[in-house]
Amino acid sequence: EVQLVQSGAEVKKPGESLRISCQGSGYTFTNYWISWVRQMPGKGLEWMGRIDPRDSHTIYSPSVEGHITISADKSLSTAYVQWSSLEASDTALYYCARLDGSCRHSNCYAFDNWGPGTLVTVSS
Amino acid sequence: DIQMTQSPSTLSASVGDRVTITCRASQSIGSWLAWYQQKPGKAPKLLIYKASSLQSGVPSRFSGSGSGTEFTLTISSLQPDDFATYYCQQYNSYSYIFGQGTKLEIK
């Protein structure tokens, strides 16, 4: 069974750093890209960026580029998103999702499996 | 940048109804469109990909159509489990833009 297991909820202060994780299991981790999606309280879904775990090639949404860093450790089958300086506006639920970036499957580029989300609260 | 606009934002319907949600792209995206269902407190779930292909395990009452700039998600006969928020998404290898969502409520 494909699973994306995300790290637990975090409460941080503005200016603090943070890294959250997403570990894939039940499939070959390097065969799929990982995307990160943000959902602010009561709002819709917003794509943040994605990484190819084979070579760590990463692209970001213009709305978050420079504010977050997405990385992956293929030996741990884990992807990460990190902030060096959190802002109150980073308060959100963060989902990871996998996508077939090589079009081995007909649903390539669609987000076919999602993690349960990590709630990040940034408050002074 | 491509923008995705869903309508309506909220839809009230009854069990057994046939409902349609529309998604419009600001420029042609071919058939690179997906639909997701999200229930409160849960992660989104892929329903439809490439505009009209049903994801494995998704009930056949869900269907998608369209290409270019206009797309629809249809639920042929609403079931109690279908009341949720639905999102369209334009996607390719480097861009993944969601619509603002349509909340499907019980009338």
Contact A107 B55 (CB under 8 A): yes
Quickly tell me which residue has 């943040």 as its tokens: A48
Within an 8 Å CB–CB cutoff, is residue B54 touching chain A?
no
Average pLDDT over residues A94-107: 92
Q: Model confidence over B43-99: pLDDT tens digits?
A: 999 999 999 999 999 999 999 999 999 999 999 999 999 999 999 999 987 889 999
Q: What does residue A90 show for φ and ψ, rounded to 5 degrees? A: -80, -5
Tell me what pLDDT residue A102 has: 86
A115 in B contact zone (CB under 8 Å): yes
Cβ atoms of B12 and B105 within 8 Å: the answer is: yes
Chain segment A46-57, per-residue pLDDT in tens: 999 999 999 999
pLDDT tens for each residue of A45-89: 999 999 999 999 999 999 999 999 999 999 999 999 999 999 999
Q: Is B46 on the interface with A (CB under 8 A)?
A: yes
- Rounded CA separation A63/A42 (Å): 19
